[in-house]
Every structure is written in C-alpha cells, then in structure tokens.
Amino acid sequence: MRLLRALSLDVVAGAACGGLLAESVTGVRMLPAWWIALLAAVWSIYTGDHLLDARRVVGPLATDRHRFHRDHAGILSLALAVAVIVGLAASLRLRPPVQSLGFGLTAIVLLYLVSAQGLLWPRLPKEPVAGLLYAVGIWSGPLMMSAEPFPGPFVAALMQACAALLNLAAFAVFETEIDRQHGARSLSLLWGSERVRQAVVGAGVVGAVGALAAGISLQPSVVSAWIVIAAQIVWPGVMLMGSGWFGRHERYRSWGDGVFLLGALPRLLS
C-alpha cells in the first residue's frame, strides 16, 4: 500500500473511477485515447510535483512519498518523461474540441507546478487550484461530448470539484506541520488549521445534502452517481472528525484518495 501511495497509483485509480463517474452522469463513452491521456496526465502531474518538492526541500523530508521521490529521482524522472510522451501521443488522437481543451489545460498545469514551487503567485494556496484542475481534467471531455440536458452534468462536475477541494483541504490540516517544515503553501497555514477544519466539516455536510437534492431533482435516472458524489463531499470532514485514527501512519492519504474509487459504482450497478 505504501508503494502504491508513493507512486501516486492510488490517485490515478481514483481519477480513472472519476472518469467512469463522469461518463455515467454525462451519458457518453470516451475514446481509449482520452483514457490514456487522462491517466498519463494525472500520474505525470503528481509525480512531477513530488519530484520538484523533494528537490526543493533542503535537509530531511517529513513524508515517505517525498523521501521515495528523492531516493529514486533518476528512474522516476525517466518514467515521467515516458508518461508525458505517451500522454501527448494519445492526445493527438482526441476529438478536436477535447484536444484543444487538453492542450490549454496542459499550459495551466505547468503554471500551477511553477506556482507550487513559489516562483509565481507566492501567496496562492495550492488546494483550490489543484482541486479545480482535477475536476476539470476529468469532467471537461465528457461534458463537451454530452447530450444530457444542462445543468445536471455541469453541476455534478462542480460538486466533484468541491469534493476534491475539501479532500485536499483536509490533507492540509493533517499536514500543517509538514507543509510548514517544507516551506509549502496551504489553506491550513494561510487561515489556520482549526478554521479550515471547521470549514471542511461544515461544507461537507451542506455540500452532501445539496448533491443529493440536485441528483433527485436534476438526474433521478442516475441518482446513484449523485449519492457517490455526496459521499465524496462529506468524507473529508468525517476524516477530520476522526483525526486521531486517520492521522496515524498517514491513513488519511489512503482513505482520502480511496473514496474516489466509489466513482466506479454507478457503472457497476447499471
């Protein structure tokens, strides 16, 4: 499990299940090239970010994943180059509108990685941008191809962006001291861990209720997908309420990323 987490494969699996969820809500089936490009992009972003963090920090690293990336920087950099090439090759086979959007997102991601290293917008916390990019990367293609009536799928995409943001904000609370030690920026350091904790718990409850209500009113035919989104929104607050247990051995990472695996359930149940 630690190796999977260090390699960000749990995040990639969650993104794959998020793609299945987006397909269920939008009623489309994306091309194989889209899946290859999506998963290659997710792995490349997380791996590149960890490699840059491990290189930037001087002295001991506080997390297993950053130590892993420092210890194996050479092979991981080679794998990163291969993943980027594979993702770019796959993107050339995408439908033109999805392809154009993908190239635009790539430019934004590069700016995000530069910003995360403190070279641009030094006070911008990473969680809102990362959560939005995660949801846009997964949902934008299916939304463009969808024939489902507005606003159901669009609201679902916003809700999953909220789930991703709350998940990252919860991670920030758990990792307040790590971020301070590594010189990283986070909502927890900007606003205070207790304030962020209360916001995540409260927003999780309100967001989950809102997702259920939206699903029932907008897309009752795929209400199981909205139940999954509601669970993903409320889960970060649940982890924070049980922070004593989830905080041990970075369990919050496995459980926080793992909740996105639920995205495959609507397809399995259909």
pLDDT tens for each residue of the chain, 270 residues long: 666 777 788 899 999 999 999 999 999 999 999 999 999 999 998 898 888 888 877 777 767 787 888 888 899 999 999 999 999 999 999 888 888 888 888 888 888 888 777 666 767 778 888 888 899 999 999 999 998 888 999 999 999 999 999 999 999 999 998 888 877 778 898 899 999 999 999 999 999 999 999 999 999 999 999 999 999 999 999 999 999 999 998 899 999 999 999 999 998 887
Domain that holds residue 83: 2-265
How many structural domains is the chain composed of?
A: 1
Q: 255 with 246: CB under 8 angstroms?
A: yes
Q: Is residue 188 part of a domain?
A: yes
Q: Is residue 44 part of a domain?
A: yes
Which of 212-234 are b and which e, b meaning 16 or more Cβ less than 10 Å from the residue's Cβ?
A: bebbeebbeebebbbbbbbbbbb
Q: Is residue 16 part of a domain?
A: yes
Q: Is residue 270 part of a domain?
A: no
d(CA 230, CA 207): 7
Q: Is residue 53 part of a domain?
A: yes
Q: Structure pTM? A: 0.91
68-76 long-range contacts, Cβ below 8 Å, gap at least 24? 68/6, 68/7, 69/6, 76/47, 76/51
Q: Is residue 110 part of a domain?
A: yes
Q: Is residue 165 part of a domain?
A: yes
Q: Is residue 26 part of a domain?
A: yes
